[in-house]
Copies of this chain bind each other. A is one copy, B any other.
Amino acid sequence: MEGLGNEGLGYLGAGIAAGLAVLGAGLGIGNIAGSAAEGTARNPEATADIRTTMIIAAALIEGVALFGEVIAVLLVLK
């Protein structure tokens, strides 16, 4: 309305944060679960162990990613 201001850059930052967070989570969890699927095929008896390992690591990534999304929300609502 009244020209470029600080809030505008905050909106841009929110978009960058939200986008990169999803990109990071997608690449990371995707890599984990892809290997987990291949490992399950090679040795189905280890399914439970593989899945536990996958969920532990995916939860770590998910935690950081949601932290990044919350920062994006903070920037939007600023």
Chain A: residues with CB nearer than 8 A to chain B?
A: 1-47, 49-58, 60-69, 71-76, 78
Contacts and interface: CB of A to CB of B under 8 A. Distances in A.
A50 B41 contact: yes
A63 B59 CA distance: 12
List the 8 closest A-B pairs by CB distance, nearest first: A13-B15, A19-B20, A39-B41, A28-B30, A26-B28, A24-B26, A33-B57, A6-B8
Contacts of A39: 37-38, 40-42
Contacts of A16: 12-13, 15-17, 19
Contact of A31 (B23, B30, B76): B30
22 contacts: A1-B7, A2-B5, A3-B3, A4-B4, A6-B7, A7-B8, A16-B17, A18-B68, A20-B20, A25-B64, A26-B61, A27-B27, A28-B30, A30-B32, A31-B31, A31-B33, A31-B34, A32-B37, A40-B41, A40-B49, A44-B46, A47-B49
